[in-house]
Amino acid sequence: MNTGDVLLVGRFYSLAREGERFSALRVGTDGRISQAYPDGAPLPPDIPRRPLPSGTTACVPAFVDSHAHFLTKAAMGALVKTLSRLEDGRVLPDCLDGVRTLLAEASEERPRGPVIGYGLAPGVLAERRLPTAAELDAWLPGRPVIVLSFDGHSSSYSTAALRILGLESQARDGVLSGEAHEFNMDRVMTYAMRALSPAALAKGLSRAVREAAEAGLAAVDCMEGFGNERREPGTEILARIGGRLPLRLRLWLQYTRPELVGRYVPRMARPRVGGCLHWEMDGSISSRSAAMDRPYLDRDHSGRLYRSPEEAYALAKPFYNAGYQISAHAIGPRGIESILSAYEKLSAGLGDRARDRRHRIDHFEFPRPDQVERAGRLGLVLPVQPGFAWIDARFHRSYPEALDDQTFASFTPLRSLLQAGAVPALSSDAPVQPFDPFLQIAGAVEHPVASESLPVYDALRAYSWAGAYGAYEEEDRGTLEAGKYADFAPLDRDPFETPKAELYRIRTLGTWIGGRPLESPPDNPAGFVMRALTSPRRKI
């Protein structure tokens, strides 16, 4: 008798146990898997079958992006000119004249308001730097122009933009990096968002959801909030409608004032705080602002620490005491030490119960060996991006210019982290990198330090189960097992039969939630708003 269940027939890797594979899933009306059929097991003849996308070779649990700036990605898709692209194995433009051409195109496309360019990779330019205020003034006289680097940790401005933002005294030659960049991003983003109409924001959000769905993502951890303003319209809008979108968005507030973060908690599945910007312990490698132990090869400094261990402790303590899950950006070992020691101090005496809080250190890029072990003892969730090094080795080639071999050997030690008991969770850091899980999976499997590479099984789990675990959802999602939701990503290749060097070529064929294709919201603003207003609301 047909009970309303459906049968999905294909090759399903559960990722619950290595090598476990099913030939079909029976899915109930609640979207959960009621039965999983091993290869060769007879399938019930009376259950209707729902076809998978054409070209599907294998299915894995849907991916979870554990660190993305979703609102920024949505806004940039509607407002910003992309200043780098991959073409014939090269990153272009490769000179400032090419940057000038793209900004001129952006000026023609948007005759009024600011001209904003994002994604510039200074390391591939012949001049190896961002444009100065004088150059921007000459290229686009009188226009407010903002140029952001691809890693989001340095920027440059025309004179008009500096004046509007009140940054004249902080930007030498119109360029900001380090703390001067990080802690002024609230001004920059607030200004940019004001130039974005509600219709354009709706279109940008719809496009971001669509990109995520096409990439096999079922959920995204959204690091939002640019400063400590009382009201940021973009964050308010995302908090209000995010729970009505088909993609599962999890809101992380980057504010540092408990009373401001607390305003959003009633809309959240659990209280979360932190991320980047004012929760950054240091900067980035590309901008030479990560707090390293040894000087950069091409600088006479080792980067500046943004927050000392004492300051990190003072920042985290009120949120820890209030029961928040906490996240903080740290890349270099001195930055990692600040937030890691704060977590240790806050959880002193808890023993294994410290793991229950599932606090995070995002990026965790160049830890010392003792920091790996300590992160494991605390059971920290570590949203990491091994795709950075994978892309850099092939296109940007910036790491060898900045770091000596001994330092680079400590890059994101995935295997050691797993062995220590930490939970590395792969993520894109979008819009820094695209919503493409297999860039990060390739980076984990083809790790630049061979001893720290992951098998395909562990890399896939780090982009599915780990993300669900980090959100306390591992009982419902993250693997394909009876009792869990049938959330999966159909793939055009079987990752377990694909050569390592070809993993990055695997393409997802959408996202399925509860045994059905994720339906992206309409691209037109009116349709998007209507869908958001009429869809059921869940906590974000």
Helix (H) or strand (E) holding 146: strand 145-149
- Residue (of 382, 519, 280, 383) closest to 68 by Cα position: 383
Q: For residue 1, what pLDDT is reported? A: 45
Q: What is the pLDDT of residues 244-255, one digit of tens each?
A: 999 999 999 999
For 102, the enclosing helix (H) or strand (E) is helix 96-109
Report the alpha-carbon distance of residue 268 to residue 243 in Å, rounded. Answer: 9
Q: In the prediction, which pLDDT does 230 show? A: 66
Orientation angle between helical segments 309-321 and 333-346, nearest 10 degrees: 40
Decide yes or no: CATH 2.60.40.1190 for domain 81-194: no
Task: Please report the pLDDT score of residue 458 as a whole number.
Answer: 98
CB proximity list for 520: less than 8 A, separation 6 or greater:
206, 209, 210, 213, 246
Q: What is the dihedral of CA 519, 473, 274, 444, to 10 degrees?
A: -80
Which segments in the chain show pLDDT lower than 50? 1
Using DSSP's 3-state secondary structure scheme, residue 414 falls into: helix
Q: Which of 397, 492, 478, 390 is nearest to 441 (CA)?
A: 390
Domain extent listing, the chain: 6-60, 81-194
Report the alpha-carbon distance of residue 513 to residue 488 in Å, rounded. Answer: 7
- Four-point Cα dihedral 528, 529, 535, 539, nearest 10: 100
Going by the DSSP 8-state scheme, the letter that residue 489 receives in this structure is: E
Share of the chain above pLDDT 90, in %: 78
Token pair belonging to 338 = 């600040």
Assess contact for 418 and 379: CB atoms under 8 A. Answer: no
- Reported as a single tens digit per residue, the pLDDT across 16-53 is 999 999 999 999 999 999 999 999 999 999 999 999 99
C-alpha 26/C-alpha 43 separation (Å) is 9
Residue 219: both structure tokens together: 């959920």
Q: Which phi and psi angles does 28 have, rounded to 5°? A: -85, 175
- 314 by DSSP, 3-state: which? helix
Which pLDDT score is estimated for 2?
52
Tell whether the torsion through CA atoms of 486, 217, 501 and 413 is positive or negative. negative
In the β-sheet with 115-120, what is the strand arrangement from edge to edge? Answer: 81-82, 115-120, 145-149, 154-157, 175-177
The Cα 452–Cα 467 span in angstroms is 20
Q: How many CA atoms lie within 13 A of 360 on its CB side?
A: 32
- Cβ contact 22:480 at 8 Å: yes
